[in-house]
Amino acid sequence: MDDERDNHGSNCNLCGGAYTLPEDEDLGNLPRVIACGHIFCTACLCYLEIDNVIKCPECKPADAEKDVEKAEKDVEKAEKDVEKAEKDVEKAVDEALAQAVENMAQLDHIHQTLVTGLATQAKREQARLVTEIDKAVDQAVHALYKRREALLRELPNMQARFSSSQEEVSRVQERMNVLKMAIQTAKEFRHAPSLEQYDTLEKVLDTLQAPVDAQSFDMNCITLGCGLSCVCQTDSLMEGLKMKVGSPEPLSEEPPLRALQQGGSNRKPAWCRGEGRSRSHTPPSRHKPPQQQDQESLRANRPSQCSSRSPGHQPGSTLSPLRPASDPGSPDIIIESVIEVEQQQPLRPASDPGSPDVIIESVIEVEQQQVYHLVLVTHVVNPSHFYIRYVAEKREGLMLSKKINHLCSGDKGCFTPSDTLETGSTVFAKWKDGFWCRATVVELWQSGSVAAVNACPITRLARIQVFLLDYGFTKAIALQSEEGTTESLVEGVSECLRRVDMVVQSEMRCWAPLAIKCSLKDLIPADLIKGWSKEAQVEFRNVVGSAAMEMQVFGQDKNSLQVDLRKSPMDRASELPISVREYLVFIEVARFYSPVVFGRSPLPYYAPVYPDINTEFNAVVSYISSPADFYIQLVDSVDFQMLTAKLQACYNATTVDRDTDLHLYCPVMGQASVARFDDNVWYRAQVIGHPGGRKVEVRYVDIGNTKILSVDDLRKLKDEFFALPAKAIQCCLADVVPLDGETWSDTCTDRFISLAHQKLVTVVAFGKISFSKMEPNIRLLPVRLFEGSLDGPLANISDQLVTEELASFKDGHAEDPDVWDSPIEDLLAAEGKSCLDSDTSDRDQEPLEFQPQLQLPVCLNELKVRVTHVSSPGSFCVQLTQNDSQLKRVSELLNQEYASMEPQEVEWKADMYCAALINGVWERGQICTTVTSSSIAEVLRCDFGNKVKLHVSNLQPLQPSLVGSLMLECTLYDIRPAGGQSTWTATACDFISYYLDGASAVMTVKEMTDERPVPITLFCSNRMGSYVNMADSLVSEGLALKQWKPRNAVVPKPEESTPPSPPACPVLIPPPSSPTSIPAPSSAFPKPAPRTHLSAAKVRTQLYHPPELPGHGHIQMTISGIGEDGLIYARKHQAECQLEKLKEHIQQRMKTLPKQTPFTWKSVLGCAVIRPDMVWYRGQLLEVQRGEVKVRYVDYGLVENIPVVHVYPLLLCEDVPQLCVPCQLYGVNPVGGQWQWDAVALLKALLLNRCVDVQVMRPIMIPPVPLLDDWEISTEGLESPEVPVLGPFIYPVLPQEGEHFSVRIKHLRTPNELFLWPVEDGAEVDEETLEEALDRINKDAGSLPQLSNFLPGSACLAKYSDGKYYRATLMDFVSVDPVRLLIQHVDFGSDDTLPRSKLRQMPAELLRFSTRALKVRVAGFKAPSVSLETDMLPYQPKWSKKAVQEMIGLLHGNITASVVATEPALTVLLYDKKGELVHLPLVSSGLADLD
């Protein structure tokens, strides 16, 4: 048998094969056990399997008989088990029937109990509801009184309801202000008449004499009412008291919780305050912790709750306290008190499932107010655990304190040796000297025990911790030491604690705890793992402080009220209360779990004033985001300039004074504010986002741009700055859309910015205001923008974008005809057909005929001309633009005739006509003077009017058929030179030449005669796009006067007072047979009339005598002026009296204005100045500018630029020396060699107009100013330099934006402005490097010629301190005597000041090398706004020297760069070898700020 088992363990009995495991290479041949117990291999069993059945080959047929016998035995056994199971079931059924009889008896008992309890329950609930209905009625009456007080508080603002009366008051005030200004102007004219005021005198007299028309003012407006009325809907009020079915609650014998719910108040009304108030208060159990005591304190009635019987109550009825808002068993009784103004409001049921017992809802059309309670925060654990007291309960608190102090006075309430204190018991504890308060025992420590105990005898009490019920904090009291007698121990306890017996305890139950535990609703710590941080607790204590706060109750959570505290605003009209919850979230020490949105919204700005549709107006594009989103500012109002000035004056002063009342702690969305921009200028703004990190996103409402800035840069907006509406108007282009129909490309936006940003444009509004697709709340004004042009119609920017294929027109858009006025030629052609004869009409249809002579049209009104030459207002030349084709024809004929002709020897005499080659173009000319041996002829350009000097080789005789002129000499009509002289001053000539030379204009011929020049009126377009009368401009500048006309002469009103417009009917000259021609005296060309202005007279004045210098030592002087060069001008005390006498003497002498004559300023040093206040001053002429002169008042030291008409070349009291002594600080040199503006400003703030003690160290002799010689400089015979000026250097080619490339830093000017060189730039050119070329040139440096051309920007070689020459570019002249020039080394970036001897001409071959230093700006950081460093860069005071040194250290090593922008300056980012930005350490150390 053992052998067989062994075989079974190794080989199969059928096949004899060995068993194999599956880890072999094949699948294995495992042994298998069948049902009979025999074992065969897997292969044999698969062979024996037939229809999924395997028959054992070793089992005999006898085994089948044994199996049958065994089956019969199993059947008998099963039958016995069934009989046993039936008996068990019968037994179980009998037991269940017995239990059912017992259960029926119990149910019968329960039924009887419920029937009895139902009757009791109905009676109890009926009594409760009667009590609560009475209380709800009291609450409704209280709400009516509260609403009455709120309505009465609105009555002082009733004046705002009478807008018509306010408008009439404003009209009267405006009329009074105008009259006051006219009276003041008239008084000034009577005191000191001036020529400037004659023009406005007539208007002032009209204002003074204008009668007051009482009928023009609406006096009936003060008899009208405001239109408001107060109506009480009694039917709704009666129906508001109703029963509402709610979820049932379990009955309790204890008094229900007192509720503090939103929208209601349980404070006692005025008629309910009295004595005899009963209290129902459940004292805390002796063994409950303070948390449970706090919960029970909330359930107690407040001292201010009225429990006395109200009017109408039945005897015996009492008011039950209110339940909390979160109590699920509170009955749903809702009382709605509705007060309507002018319009009834529907009742709104309370849909909140967690609504409190009683909801008082006051609805008014004007404003729906919420009820807030004034509270004081007594103790703070964290924002989720603090205690408050009602301000309204201050009186009750004082009464309670007096009561407790009375109960604790003397020996009352002292403990005895047999007393025992337990945890949770109520005692009286001494908080301060002579001040007792209620407390609950929290913990007890017994002598000799380390752990706290629940009960302790008085004689063994060592330390106690109590919770003050009326203040909300816990106090620990140490009572005794180990030594002492029983009496001393009891006395020690009685000094700090007094017991509360049953009588006192029952009396105290009428006083609920005054401290209420609260929690800020839905506020959780910023970090839930760490919990409330110390910063959150400190910020919460700081913001609540000790002042009264407004508390809004949202409900109750467990044992605390869910509230929000709001800091009361100083001005409720414009400011929002500061929500403590929102403030803590804003400073990121907390976050909302479920934020609550308040109904009150911030006061917005007035909407901008939108222009009329299809009306042209001028505007400036202030900010551009895309062609579909940009902002414009209208330019027709000066109120905003005054607003900006007032903002700076107000908020800069506030910043200096650190006025915290204007700081914004928690700005809300949409709040109006004042924000500081990068230029430290304050602008009006509106909060539009909260990105976090104490940052806010604002939109500047007067500009349109947005910016993210710190909350420290925000201030509250005062009411006075709400008056003006927002200035920026948000617009979009009306006719165009993006090329893809969805988004605007950056290329299109950049092009639009270059065309319109910060430019004056003409705007036409089309269509109504639309709303943005991306932001539905944004209103866009569809407009068309036009660029101004003098030479033609205005250019539509939309058309230009479409033409450049940057945008496309909208579907269905058809190009509208120009909205501008038609050209004047078209109007004249259309309207002049009836006036011109048929010959002229026929002639217009013929091909263009050459006309060498100027022919004026029949209509001489509003002709478009081009000014070609200006001599003075009395003589200038113009060309008619309609003759442009004739000018082109003349030029073509001249070029055909004389281009190939050889020069001829001609004796040129005066008045001969010639063809002159001027700047490579042949023109018609006339010889002015006979040509002498110099071979230089002065030629008048016949078609332009100016004179040029040409060599006779450039002249040819002019054919008679070409003789003529297309130029007309003109003079301005109806004006004369100012100052009573007959010739025009040089200032007037320069002024009109500056504005007219080469300009396009419109003229009207006043008188057409044979004399020249022809009087005309000329209109020229200014920068604003409107036409200006040049004659009026000269008069307004004081350079001309109107022509005097006799009073009895009838002079037609000149037409130049209005801008040019198409004439209604052309003015016709008697019709000739041909167009009017300009007659010539003896030839076809008219000889110009002689100039009417004479040469200016030469006037020479000396300086005033120098001031008398004080001697050595100390002297008292008054500082009168500080110069920009650091000079301090002071006067001695004796000079003050002398100055007053001098002023009086000058005023007596100069009673009339001297007669002005034309003169030159070259030899004028001393002068007399008359200021607009008609007071004369002595001055020194420093510089002559265009229309102005720079003078220094010699008796004051001040320097000012004033119009030339106020300066006269004469000396006043020339024997009196200058009274002002120039001084300079001894031993003090300015940083950088010259005084900076901030240093001069500091000197002015410290010294100006102050009497100081001056110590004279050594007097400095003032050298006399040399007179300017009147040189006559002639450039005749001078030749141009033979050395050509070299072109600009080649700049290295940089990679594309975003690619990184290695650089080498060459020179650092400031931390964010430096010079670098891309290392990958090709160094060799023509197999030679720049260094090799410079070495080769320096070896033969002696042969380099000196620099003779000093044109700024030209290339040169500059000698460095090492004796070698390097490439450089000229920047500017530093000094003339000696000559020193400022150069910049183009391969290093550094500047240097060198004399002329160290400069050489650069060989042209060096231009093939690109520059090795490229000036860039480093992006990502900027100078710090607040720097603690004192050592600053003199040439850039914003940066410190320490920052420069740190930046130099950071730039060592391998530096890579990437281009960020190329316009307006090349801007890059620099990275170190780790790939990090190099400026980050500079920012982290506080030496720079992120940009």
| Amino acid 370: pLDDT | 59
Place of tokens 């048929």: 838
Structure confidence by residue, pLDDT tens digits, 1015-1035: 999 988 776 666 788 888 888
Residues 6+ apart with CB under 8 A from 552: 262, 370, 372, 373, 563, 564, 566
The C-alpha atoms of residue 1029 and residue 1013 are separated, in whole angstroms, by 18
Separation between Cα atoms, residue 583 and residue 824, nearest integer Å: 66
Residue 717 φ then ψ, to 5°: -90, 125
| Gap between the Cα atoms of 262 and 324, Å rounded | 11
Give the Å distances, CA to CA, from 263 to 373, 519, 578.
11, 19, 20
The Cα–Cα gap between 707 and 701 comes to: 12
Give how far the C-alpha of residue 601 lies from the chain's centroid of Cα atoms, to the nearest Å.
Answer: 21
Residue 970 pLDDT? 93
Average pLDDT over residues 1131-1142: 86
If you write DSSP's letter for every residue of 606-659 in order, what string do you get? PPP-PPPBT-EEEEEEEEEEETTEEEEEESS-SHHHHHHHHHHHHHHHHHHHT-
Count of alpha carbons within 13 Å of 525, Cβ hemisphere only?
Answer: 13
> Could you tell me if 997 and 1022 are in contact, meaning their C-beta atoms sit under 8 angstroms apart?
no
Q: What is the pLDDT of residues 1309-1352, one digit of tens each?
A: 899 899 988 887 666 777 788 888 898 889 888 888 888 888 88
Nearest of 1280, 1410, 1406, 1229 to residue 1334 by alpha carbon:
1406
Share of the chain above pLDDT 70, in %: 75
**Among residues 1008, 1025, 852, 1017, which one has the least CA distance to residue 924?**
852
Sheet containing 1207-1208, strands listed edge to edge, beginning at the edge strand earlier in sequence: 1199-1203, 1188-1193, 1176-1184, 1166-1170, 1207-1208
Q: Output the average pLDDT for the chain.
A: 76
For 954-996, write each residue's pLDDT tens digit. Answer: 888 998 888 999 999 999 988 888 866 778 888 888 888 888 8
pLDDT band at 554 (very low <50, low <70, confident <90, very high): confident
pTM of the model: 0.31
Q: What's the rounded Cα separation, in Å, for the pair 251 and 246?
A: 15
Neighbours of 464 (CB within 10 A): 25
351 near 361, Cβ under 8 Å?
A: no
Spatial separation of the C-alpha atoms in residues 971 and 1014, rounded to whole Å: 6
Q: Which two tokens stand for residue 790?
A: 């003098």
- What spatial distance separates the first Cα and last Cα of the chain, rounded to whole Å? 98
What sign for the dihedral angle of Cα 1404, 1407, 1409, 1415? positive
The mean pLDDT of 497-522, rounded to a whole number, is: 85
Whether the per-residue pLDDT at 747 is higher than 80: the answer is yes
Residues contacting residue 509 through CB under 8 Å, at least 6 positions apart: 279, 280, 281, 282, 283
**Tens digits of per-residue pLDDT, 1213-1268?**
888 899 999 998 888 888 877 888 888 888 888 888 888 989 888 765 555 544 44
- Between CA 124 and CA 534 the distance in angstroms is 51
pLDDT for the residue numbered 1322: 61
The SS3 assignment for 82 reads helix
Q: 530-534 long-range CB contacts below 8 Å, 24 or more apart?
A: 531/382, 532/382, 532/383, 532/384, 533/589
Q: By three-state DSSP, how is residue 1159 classified? A: strand
β-pairing, 795-796 vs 736-737, is unpaired
Q: Is a pLDDT exceeding 90 seen at residue 1129?
A: yes
**C-alpha–C-alpha distance, residues 535 and 550, integer Å:** 23
Q: Say if residues 857 and 882 touch (Cβ distance below 8 Å).
A: yes
Q: Which run of H or E residues covers position 822?
A: none
Quick one: which of 431, 460, 428, 432 has its CA closest to 444? Answer: 460
Residue-wise pLDDT tens digits, 1414-1470: 889 999 898 888 777 888 888 888 888 889 888 888 888 888 999 888 887 889 999
Q: How far is the CA of 221 from the CAs of 155, 172, 174, in angstroms?
A: 19, 14, 18
User: Residue 185: what pLDDT?
Assistant: 78
Contact 1004, 862 (CB under 8 A): yes
| Separation CA 169–CA 160 (nearest Å) | 13
Q: How far is CA 332 from the centre of its chain?
A: 51
Contacts of 1273 (CB under 8 A, 6+ apart): none
Angle between helices 198-209 and 163-191 (to 10 degrees): 130
Whether the predicted pLDDT of 825 surpasses 70: no
How far apart are the C-alpha atoms of 1222 and 1262, rounded to whole Å?
9
